[in-house]
C-alpha cells in the first residue's frame, strides 16, 4: 500500500475522552485519511455522514472479508471468517438469497405480535430484581442481558438453559484481545451447540426459526447452523449493550431520564431509542469494506483492492446530518436517519426487533424504577474497551 508513513493506529483509544463519545483522536480525523490496523495494512478511514452512507450502499464496495485487502478487525475474526464465511460477509446476489430466507421472521408485522411477550419478560425480570432484600443490583445480569437473550432463544428455538455457555462463547468471539486459537475453539463450541439444536429441530420441529429453516428443505444442517450462530450472537450482544450503556447515559443525564419517565406519550420512548442508538453507536471500530473498483471521495482516489473503514460512530455525530449540537443527548431530536444499524444491503436485519426490545427495556425500567441511580461514578464504570461491540462489563445500580 502507498499510505503515509505515520498513519495513526486504528482503532483509537477512548480512555482519555468521555466514555460515551467516539475517541477524541478519531473525532479529529480528516474526512478521508489512512490508518494502520493490527496487520500493518493501511486502509482508508472515512468519517463523514454523507460519504459513509453512500459507500455503505455503493455496489463498488464489497463486504467479503475473505478477499485480499479487506481490513478485518482482528486476527481471530480473520481465522473465523476463513473457516466459515457468514452471510454478512457475502456480496449480492449470494447474500440477498440468504437474507430473503430470513426477512419474513423480522418483519414489523410478525414482531409486533411478540411485543406483549417481550413486555411480560421485562416485567418479570424487574419483579425479580425489585423483590431482592437489598436495593442494589448489577443491571446487566438482572435485566439488560437476560431480556434480549430470552427473546432470541425463543425466536430461534435455542434452549435458554444454554445461556451461560453461549454468553461466554459469544464474549470470547467478539473480544479484541483473545487469541485466534481461543476464538477458534469458542466458535467451534458455539457451532456444536447450535448444530445439536438444529438436528433436534429437524427431527422434532416446533414454531421457531431453526425449525422452519430445517423444514424448508433449502439449506443444509451446516448452513442453518451458521445462520443460527449469527442470529444468536447478533441478537443478544448488541441489544444487551445498548440497554446497559443507554441506561448509564440516561442516569448520567437526569433531565433526559426525567423527560423519558414523565412523558406518557409512547413516541417519546421511540424517539429516545433512536437518539441513544445514534449517540452511542455500540457497533464501533467502523464497518469494514473493500473497494472493488476505483472510487473518488473528496478529491482522493481510492483504488480497487484497497480497504475501507466506514466510521458510523463519527458519521452519527456529524453536525451536517444532525444539526443543533450532535454531541448533546436530546431524546426529542429526530435521529431516525442515524447509521447505528449501518445502511445498504447489510443494514441490520434485526433492527425492528432491536428497536422493540429497547423501547420496552428503557420504557419499563424508567417507569417502574423511578429512583434508579448509578451506584458507581460514571468514570469508574467498567467500559468495554476490549470488545468489538461497545458497552459495559457491569452496571451497578441502586433504587
Ligand atoms: C441495538 C441492537 C443492534 C445494533 C446496534 C445492530 C447493529 C448492526 C449493524 C451496524 C449491522 C451492519 C454490519 C455491517 O454492515 O457490517 C448489523 C447487521 C446485522 N444484524 Fe444487527 N444490530 C442490533 C441488533 C440485532 C438483532 C436483535 C438481531 C437479530 C437477530 C440482529 C441481526 C443482524 C444480522 C443478521 C446482521 C447482518 C445483516 C447482513 O449482513 O445482511 N441485529 N447489525
State whether the beta carbon of 90 lies less than 6 angstroms from ligand 1.
no
Q: Dihedral, CA atoms, 144, 394, 282, 304, nearest 10 degrees?
A: -130
Q: How many CB atoms lie within 10 A of CB 262?
A: 11
Judge if the beta carbon of residue 350 lies within 6 A of ligand 1: yes
CB of 236 closer than 8 Å to CB of 198: no
289, three cell numbers: 469494506
Rounded-to-integer distance, Cα 324 and Cα 317, Å: 11
**Rounded CA separation 322/49 (Å):** 9
- Look up 128 and say whether it is catalytic: no
β-pairing, 307-310 vs 44-46, is: parallel
At 1 the pLDDT is 47
Q: Is 278 touching ligand 1 by the criterion CB < 6 Å?
A: no
CB-neighbour burial class of residue 82 (10 A; exposed 0-12, middle 13-18, buried 19+): exposed
346 lines ligand 1 (CB under 6 A): yes
> What does the pLDDT look like over 118-175, one tens digit per residue?
999 999 999 999 999 999 999 999 999 999 999 999 999 998 888 888 888 887 877 7
Q: What is d(CA 194, CA 76) in angstroms, rounded to the nearest whole number?
A: 20
pLDDT beneath 70: ranges in the chain? 1-5
Q: Is the CB of 60 under 6 A from ligand 1?
A: no
Distance 107 CA to ligand 1 centre (A): 14
- What is the C-alpha separation between 228 and 87, in angstroms, rounded? 11
Pocket perturbation via mutation, ligand 1, pick of 228, 341, 358 by most ligand atoms within 8 A of CB: 341
Catalytic site includes residue 48: no
Catalytic annotation on 315? Answer: no
Annotated active-site residue in 29, 89, 239, 244: 239
| Catalytic residue chosen out of the listed positions 234, 252, 257, 311 | 234
Question: In this predicted structure, what is the pLDDT of residue 5?
Answer: 63
- Our answer to whether residue 18 is catalytic in this structure is no
Give the pLDDT score at 164: 82
Marked catalytic residue, from 137, 291, 335, 348: 348
Q: Is the CB of 121 under 6 A from ligand 1?
A: no
Q: What is the 3-state secondary structure (H, E, C) of 83-144?
A: HCCCHHHCCCCHHHHHHHHHHHHHCHHHHHCCHHHHHHHHHHHHHHHHCCCCCEEEHHHHHH
- Map grid coordinates 466514555 to a residue: 19
Cell 482519555, residue located: 16
In whole angstroms, what is the distance from residue 227 CA to residue 253 CA? Answer: 39
Atom 23 of ligand 1: nearest residue by CA position: 238
Query: Model pTM greater than 0.85?
Result: yes
Residue 90 alpha carbon, nearest atom of ligand 1 = 40
- Per residue in 379-395, pLDDT (tens digit) is 999 999 988 899 999 99
Chain Cα centroid distance, residue 335 = 17
Q: Is 371 a catalytic residue?
A: no
Amino acid at each position: 500500500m502507498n499510505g503515509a508513513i505515520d498513519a495513526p493506529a486504528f482503532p483509537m483509544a477512548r480512555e482519555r475522552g468521555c466514555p460515551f463519545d467516539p475517541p477524541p483522536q478519531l473525532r479529529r480525523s480528516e474526512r478521508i485519511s489512512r490508518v494502520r490496523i493490527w496487520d500493518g495494512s493501511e486502509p482508508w478511514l472515512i468519517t463523514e455522514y454523507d460519504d459513509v452512507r453512500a459507500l455503505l450502499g455503493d455496489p463498488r464496495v464489497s463486504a467479503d472479508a475473505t478477499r485480499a485487502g479487506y481490513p478485518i478487525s482482528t486476527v481471530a475474526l480473520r481465522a473465523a471468517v476463513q473457516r466459515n464465511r457468514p452471510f454478512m460477509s457475502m456480496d449480492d446476489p449470494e447474500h440477498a438469497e440468504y437474507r430473503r430466507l430470513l426477512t419474513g421472521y423480522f418483519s414489523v408485522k410478525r414482531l409486533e405480535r411478540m411485543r406483549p411477550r417481550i413486555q411480560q419478560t421485562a416485567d418479570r425480570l424487574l419483579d425479580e430484581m425489585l423483590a431482592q432484600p437489598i436495593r442494589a443490583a448489577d443491571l446487566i445480569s438482572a435485566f439488560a442481558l437476560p431480556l434480549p437473550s430470552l427473546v432470541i432463544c425463543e425466536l430461534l428455538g435455542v434452549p435458554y438453559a444454554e445461556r451461560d455457555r453461549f454468553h461466554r462463547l459469544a464474549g470470547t468471539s467478539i473480544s479484541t484481545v483473545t487469541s485466534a486459537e481461543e476464538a477458534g475453539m469458542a466458535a467451534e463450541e458455539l457451532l456444536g451447540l447450535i448444530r445439536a439444536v438444529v438436528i433436534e429441530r429437524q427431527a422434532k420441529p416446533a414454531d421457531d426459526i431453526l425449525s422452519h429453516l430445517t423444514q424448508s428443505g433449502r439449506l443444509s444442517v451446516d448452513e442453518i447452523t451458521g445462520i443460527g450462530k449469527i442470529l444468536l450472537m447478533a441478537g443478544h450482544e448488541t441489544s444487551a449493550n445498548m440497554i446497559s450503556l443507554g441506561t448509564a447515559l440516561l442516569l448520567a443525564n437526569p433531565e433526559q431520564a426525567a423527560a423519558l419517565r414523565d412523558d406518557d406519550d409512547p413516541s417519546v420512548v421511540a424517539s429516545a431509542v433512536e437518539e441513544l442508538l445514534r449517540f452511542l453507536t455500540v457497533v464501533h471500530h467502523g464497518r469494514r469494506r473493500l473497494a472493488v473498483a476505483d472510487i473518488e471521495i473528496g478529491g482522493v482516489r481510492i483504488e480497487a483492492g484497497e480497504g475501507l473503514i466506514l466510521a458510523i460512530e463519527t458519521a452519527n455525530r456529524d453536525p451536517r446530518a444532525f444539526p443543533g449540537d450532535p454531541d448533546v443527548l436530546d431524546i426529542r431530536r429526530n435521529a431516525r436517519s442515524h447509521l447505528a444499524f449501518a445502511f445498504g444491503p447489510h443494514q441490520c436485519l434485526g433492527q425492528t426487533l432491536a428497536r422493540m426490545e429497547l423501547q420496552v427495556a428503557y420504557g419499563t425500567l424508567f417507569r417502574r424504577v423511578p429512583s434508579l441511580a448509578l451506584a458507581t461514578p460514571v468514570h469508574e464504570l467498567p467500559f468495554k474497551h476490549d470488545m468489538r461491540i461497545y458497552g459495559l462489563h457491569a452496571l451497578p445500580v441502586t433504587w
